Amino acid sequence: MAIVTASTKQPTGIRHWAVTACVLLVLLVTGCRKLEQRADLIIMNGAEPESLDPAIVTGQPDGRVAGALFEGLTRFNPKNAKPIPGIAERWDISPDGQTYTFYLRTNALWSTGEPITADDVVYSWRRALDPLTASDYAGQLYYVKNGEGFNTGKTNNATGKVYTKEDVGVTALDTHTVKVDLEGPTPFFLDLCAFRTLAVVPRQSIEKHGDRWLMERPLPTSGPYNLDFWHIHDRIRIRKNPLYWDAKNIQNEIIDLLPAESATTALNLYETGEADIIWDKNLIPSELMDVLKGRDYVHTYDYLGTYFIRFNVTKPPFNDVRVRKALALVIDKERLVNNITKSGEKIASCLTPPGMEGYTSPDGLGRDIELARKLLAEAGFPDGKGFPTFNYLFNTSEMHKQIAVELQAMWKKELGITMELRQVEWKVYLSDQSKMQFDTSRSSWIGDYVDPNTFLDMFMSGNGNNRTGWANPQYDELIRQANQERDLTKRAKILHDAEVLLIREDLPIAPLFFYVGVNIFDPAKVEGVHQNLLDEHPIWNLRRKDGRSTSRPSAQKLAASP
């Protein structure tokens, strides 16, 4: 995920300050509250969330919780991650594929009892696009007519008028009908409607409380769960929303989501019966994968995820493509997947993983040490002489650290250059990537929907998830052309040409490997977890089958984890 922030946007530093202030207030208000009841299900969720605001969240740990609290017009099918009706019970699509009319459920209510209306949808989408919100995922709404223009502050070429929120192509036709006009036919638009950024959020709370709206109690939610409390470094507790339109099918009354960045801590809590599920591959000790893979509670599967390196192309010497290619060409990816990740990951030379029907990615760069040395010399650094010491940003995780150490050794040995490791906790990592405060950075991307565009459009010049400083007008135009093309074969060819620019010609990123998903849970005790290409496991579909028998893990245990 990556950022090139438009000049009209509120600085991301201000956004993160507001998020941090909100989190601290949550801690002050709830920190002394005692747990009155054990949870039906306890999930190890990964790093402490940055926020629970659907317009702000960027990471999987954040998105899992936000997705339980706030729902969109569609939601993900737990089995195959395809879009199914959510707040909208049905929709019509125009013959040209550019206009969608959504009909909201009449029994869709806020958890506080008020009806969820078409105006709520319009407000939520416009808010995500508003430059002042500084949403990294605002690009998910660029497919809506004039969405990009409003978000980036562009002017209408015909009239010279600056786009406003009223120009965005989402309209309330009546209380329960929403009309959406798109820039062009978008085959994955219903998938986008299930994504967190497009979830329906409570206007009444946001306008009343501003940045502190998540502090309101009771917090109005549109999804299957309410936020009971958020204890920093302990847990987030969510409780079944009895007014949710599908409440009768929500199986668990209370769910706890625990933060942990130590894989050892997470596995220990699971093994001692103090947690029921481990979601995140980063919470599973890679050095134990050879042993763990043989156990019946460890589930591995392919999904749409890529691990890669970002280069900050605004900083010398990484503004020279020869330098970027030199670093990429000496990486021994086989060594990384065989010695560190150990879950059956496949090495990657491209960004877009296999598995998407109708699309085959181009081949990127292989391993060629002699060519790498030649390119580095051409860039003015023969044998690494004169190359400045640079940093590699990564978040707390043993696997990320091991990969960083290997990269450091490879680049020193083969190119004679020195890299310093910069390991930070999750929120700092996200903030520094957004603010481009790095030279190189470990990165990953999990598909938001099953289409190559979910990997490729984020590197368009104005996309908030770009986070490399790279901008190529030819690339931007190819992505736009592809998403206007209705012939799927021609569309795939255009996307292929765009990916060539990204991973073979300009190389603002260096792909390393495609993820293999790993979940830990006992099927005899927990049901409703289905492995799918998006690694989406909606919390509303989970059920503990054998009653609650786990003890409560203490905050001290989590805080003491390395």
* Predicted confidence (pLDDT) per residue in 413-440, tens digit: 999 999 999 999 988 999 999 999 999 9
| Beta carbons of 238 and 257 less than 8 angstroms apart | yes
The per-residue pLDDT for range 210-220, each reduced to its tens digit, is 999 999 999 99
User: What does the pLDDT look like over 23-43, one tens digit per residue?
Assistant: 444 433 444 444 568 899 999
Average per-residue pLDDT for the chain:
90
Nearest CA to 558 out of 324, 261, 311, 140 is that of 261
* pLDDT over 70 percentage in the chain: 91
Query: Stretch 295-318: mean pLDDT, rounded?
Result: 95
State the pTM of this model. Answer: 0.84
How far is the C-alpha of 444 from the C-alpha of 344, rounded, in Å? 17
Q: Which of 57-66, 246-255, 281-290 has the lowest mean pLDDT?
A: 281-290
Question: Rounded to 5 degrees, what are φ and ψ at 46?
Answer: 105, -150
Q: Give the integer Cα–Cα distance in Å for 220 and 226.
A: 8
Note the CATH architecture for domain 12-277+521-559. 3-Layer(aba) Sandwich (3.40)
Predicted confidence (pLDDT) at residue 21 exceeds the cutoff of 70 = no
* Cis amide bond preceding 218, omega within 30: yes
Backbone φ and ψ of 123, nearest 5°:
-60, -45
Asked if residue 366 has pLDDT above 80, the reply is yes
pLDDT value for 10: 35
Q: Is 44 exposed, middle or buried (0-12, 13-18, 19+ CB in 10 A)?
A: buried
- Euclidean distance between CA atoms 365 and 500, whole angstroms: 10
How many CA within 13 A on the CB side of residue 53?
31
> How far apart are alpha carbons 289 and 344 in whole angstroms?
10
**pLDDT score at 547:** 57
Q: Which CATH architecture has domain 300-516?
A: Roll (3.10)
Q: Give pLDDT, residue 555.
A: 34
Instruction: Identify how many contiguous H helices and E strands the chain contains and give both numbers.
Output: 17, 19
On the question of a cis peptide bond just before residue 115, with omega within 30 degrees of 0, the verdict is no
What is the model's pLDDT at position 36?
Answer: 60
Residue 5 has a pLDDT of 27
Higher pLDDT pick, 198 / 14: 198
pLDDT band at 162 (very low <50, low <70, confident <90, very high): very high
For 77-143, give the DSSP string. -TTT--EEESSEEEEEE-TTS-EEEEEE-TT-B-TTSPBP-HHHHHHHHHHHH-GGG--TTGGGGTT
Give residue 215's pLDDT: 94
In terms of Cβ atoms closer than 10 Å to its own Cβ (0-12, 13-18, 19+), residue 90 is exposed
Mean pLDDT of 205-211: 96
Q: Among 104-108, 394-398, 442-446, where is mean pLDDT lowest?
A: 394-398
List, for residues 498-524, the tens digit of each pLDDT value. 999 999 999 999 999 999 989 999 999
Given this model, what pLDDT does residue 291 score?
85
Note the pLDDT of residue 548: 52
Residues 6+ away with beta carbon under 8 Å from 307: 345, 348, 403, 442, 443, 444, 511, 512, 513, 514, 515
Cβ burial of 306 (10 Å; 0-12, 13-18, 19+) is buried
**What are the start and end residues of each CATH 3.40.190.10 domain in the chain?**
12-277+521-559
Over residues 134-149, the pLDDT tens digits come to 999 999 999 999 999 9
Mean pLDDT calculated for residue range 273-283: 88
Start-to-end C-alpha separation, the chain: 27
Delimit the CATH 3.10.105.10 region(s) of the chain. Answer: 300-516
Confidence class of residue 186 from pLDDT cuts 50, 70 and 90?
A: very high
